[in-house]
Amino acid sequence: METSKPQTQNTAGQPEAPASNGQALIQMEAVRKVFYTDEVETHALAGIHLVIKKGEYIAIAGPSGCGKSTLLSIMGLLDTPTDGKYILNGEPVETLNLSDRARIRNREVGFIFQSFNLIGDLNVYENVELPLTYRGMPAAERKKRVLESLERVGMSHRTKHYPSQLSGGQQQRVAVARALGGSPSILLADEPTGNLDSKNGEAVMDLLHALHGEGATICMVTHDPRYARHADREVHLFDGRVVEESQANSEGII
Ligand code: ADP
Ligand code: MG
């Protein structure tokens, strides 16, 4: 069933909404995540309160093991909180069954991972098309979206290549195209430059920056303070809690 959507269009690909319009896209209250393994309890998230508005670009920083990837997985409906409240685009998601979660994830969320996660035996075109196929989108619409997304990341000339025939930077641009193809409400990027050299890393960051300029809502985990400064706001995690939030300033500061 189609849920009734607010008037605002999905932002990726919509050039008319560069700034946050004040509507909360992500609302987390007291979100906790405990992993139980071999009699050990790991408190990966220890009560997260976080609001991300439509059109915002948030950077999440913090030491290894502080819960950044866990937070992103929960945000992107890949995992569920142990307790707490999570509302995504107006919809409380704790109570959804598996298939509804998958459906909402496919529509609302675009993931970009450190290790690209492209499928090796699909070519560039097919990789970008796959989530749209899962969604049941008609072929003509899929083709239009795939070609547009590849155009936006500057990879239209490589549609027939396989991931192993591309550089890391090119693979990550294809992964960004895949994330964009479905016009998600939010792009979630987990250390997207972690496997790239600085030149390719910068190119991917410039791409995210441009997408944000066109209205995309982005939540990105990064270790690198240079890249965190591209964001509107930096959220620092430590031991599963938000310990500091700062307004970042993207331009004009060296
Ligand atoms: P970060 O991304 O900030 O490095 P993670 O979110 O990956 O941190 O992990 C946070 C904590 O949760 C770590 O102590 C990690 O070992 C633990 N953890 C993450 N995923 C699992 C899992 N599937 N099972 C058990 N422990 C996990
Ligand atoms: Mg991580």
Please name each of the domains of the chain with its CATH number: 4-249 (3.40.50.300)
Number of alpha carbons in the 13 Å side-chain half-sphere of residue 248 = 22
Question: Over the stretch 53-97, which tens digit does the pLDDT of each residue have?
Answer: 999 999 999 999 999 999 999 999 999 999 999 999 999 998 899
Asked whether 177 and 155 are in contact (CB, 8 A), the reply is yes
| Confidence at 223, pLDDT banded by 50, 70, 90 | confident
DSSP 1-57: -PPPPPSSPPSTT-TT--S--S-EEEEEEEEEEEEEETTEEEEEEEEEEEEEETT-E
Asked whether 240 and 43 are in contact (CB, 8 A), the reply is yes
DSSP state of 162: -
Using most ligand atoms within 8 A of CB, pick from 69, 71, 78 the residue to mutate for ligand 1.
69
CA of 17 to the centre of ligand 2 (A): 30
Is this model's pTM higher than 0.85 or not?
yes
**Which tokens go with 23?**
């509507």
d(CA 141, CA 118): 22
pLDDT for position 225:
80
Query: Minimum-distance ligand to the CA of 61?
Result: 1
Ligand 1, atom nearest to 33 Cα: 12
CA of 194 to the centre of ligand 1 (A): 17
pLDDT for position 252:
38
Q: Which residue has the tokens 């675009």?
A: 110
CA of 239 to the centre of ligand 2 (A): 13
User: Rounded mean pLDDT of 100-123?
Assistant: 95
pLDDT for position 176:
96
Decide: residue 168, CB within 10 A, 0-12 exposed, 13-18 middle, 19+ buried: middle
